[in-house]
Each structure stands twice: as structure tokens, then as C-alpha cells.
A and B are shown apart, each in its own frame.
Chain A
Amino acid sequence: DTGVSQDPRHKITKRGQNVTFRCDPISEHNRLYWYRQTLGQGPEFLTYFQNEAQLEKSRLLSDRFSAERPKGSFSTLEIQRTEQGDSAMYLCASSLLSVNTEAFFGQGTRLTVV
């Protein structure tokens, strides 16, 4: 296991289309997080899973966004009816359950909405 894997690395889509991103965490990690990073900003928290349960969602996660983590393994983040403002880097991270553990990040999926 080489770390957190995200697919695709880049996605260009037309406004109004739906897109789905995948994240494969480090295999023994119970916790999985999605963040969004826009140019010149730090990552902003979107949502958090503990195993298959989605325990926290940010207000940034509008109705058009949905995330799943079936069976507590990989996770998907779907954006429906994309808007130009959705253009950003979407980062996935995972960690063990322990409170002081480090979060490991994937390389991200860069979304461009044209």
C-alpha cells in the first residue's frame, strides 16, 4: 500500500455536468476526509467518514454534493450540475482512529468547470 490514491488526477467538465471522484485510503485507516482547496487558499473541510458512517458535513457541502463510503473502504464524491465555482482541487485524506494520529493526504483531483 503506497498511500492515499485519488482518481482521476484531473477532470475538465462542462458546466451542468455531473462528476464523480474516487478516493482509496490507506487500507487500515478507519477515518476518511474530503477537503476542497481553491487557488491561493488552504484546504477547506467538506466531510468526514468513520468507517462507512458519514459523521460530519461542512456547510460548504451543498445539495449538489454527495459523498459515500460503502463498506468503509473507498469513497466517492459526486458533484451534480457542476458550476464554475466548483473548480478546485479536491483532496482526500485518511487516518487511523486514534485522536492524535496523522492524516495522510492523496495527490488530489483537480476539477476545472468550463
Chain B
Amino acid sequence: AQTVTQSQPEMSVQEAETVTLSCTYDTSESDYYLFWYKQPPSRQMILVIRQEAYKQQNATENRFSVNFQKAAKSFSLKISDSQLGDAAMYFCAYRGNSGYALNFGKGTSLLVTP
């Protein structure tokens, strides 16, 4: 079974600064997808960024980028120029190429301070 580990229960960053959230995963598959989801308080989960394992290039979406290290099974999220609206729970998730379900980590609570 695939497991996803987020080792940082909480992180804090000042507005306009950069923060990196860690995620590692365990799998025996060679082809899979990795995701970062954001869950603001009392609001629905939304996709932040996605990475296909077969792509060597790290995904980027505006202020959000990932550092995907396939051999190390690591998938960290970097948030640049942090904004107050970035405060939320962030979940790393894995889905195998032949599977349907997302396997989520326990999440990292991000606090953004003025």
C-alpha cells in the first residue's frame, strides 16, 4: 500500500516570505501522480499543484512550485511571496496510474503572519 508522510504538523511564515512544506511517499509503482491540495478552514479542498511522475520537470503554478525527487520519493511544495490567504491545511496526496483513490498525508497547517 502506498503511504504519504507529511512530517510537519504546523508551519509558520511571514507575509511575502517563502516557505517549503515537506512530503515523502512510499510506492513500488513507477508511474503515478502527486498532488498538493489546500483546505482553508470550513471550505472545500482545492487543488494547488499536480506532478506526473514520468515528467522530470518540476511543476509550477504561479507562486507555487514543487521539488520532485523521484529517487528519494520526495515531493515538497514551495510557496513564494506568501499571502494571508495562503493560510490553510495543506495535504500531499498520491494516486497510482492504475488506481482511483487519492492517498493523503496527515496535512500541514500553514500559518501566515503579517
- A contact residues vs B (CB 8 Å cutoff): 3-4, 31, 33, 35, 40-45, 48, 50, 55-56, 58, 91, 99-100, 102-108
Contacts and interface: CB of A to CB of B under 8 A. Distances in A.
A43 B44 contact: no
B102 to A, nearest CB: 7
Contacts of B93: 42
B43 A48 contact: no
B44 A48 contact: no
Interface in B19-44: 33, 37, 42-44
Looking at B37, B45, B102, the one whose CB has the most chain A CB atoms below 10 A away is B45
A106 B106 contact: no
B46 interface: yes
B41 to A, nearest CB: 12
A42 B33 contact: no
B101 A45 contact: yes
Contact of A42 (B44, B46, B91, B100): B91
Interface of B: 4, 33, 37, 42-47, 50, 52, 91, 93, 97, 100-107
Given A42-B106, A43-B91, A102 B47 contact: yes
Given A4-B44, A108-B44, A102 B101 contact: no
Looking at B37, B97, B101, the one whose CB has the most chain A CB atoms below 10 A away is B101
Contact of A33 (B4, B97, B100, B106): B100
B31 to A, nearest CB: 10
Given A42-B91, A99-B97, A100-B52, A107 B104 contact: no
B104 A42 contact: yes
24 contacts: A33-B100, A33-B101, A33-B102, A40-B106, A41-B106, A41-B107, A42-B4, A42-B91, A42-B104, A42-B106, A43-B104, A44-B104, A45-B102, A50-B100, A56-B100, A56-B101, A58-B101, A91-B45, A99-B97, A100-B33, A102-B47, A104-B47, A105-B37, A107-B44
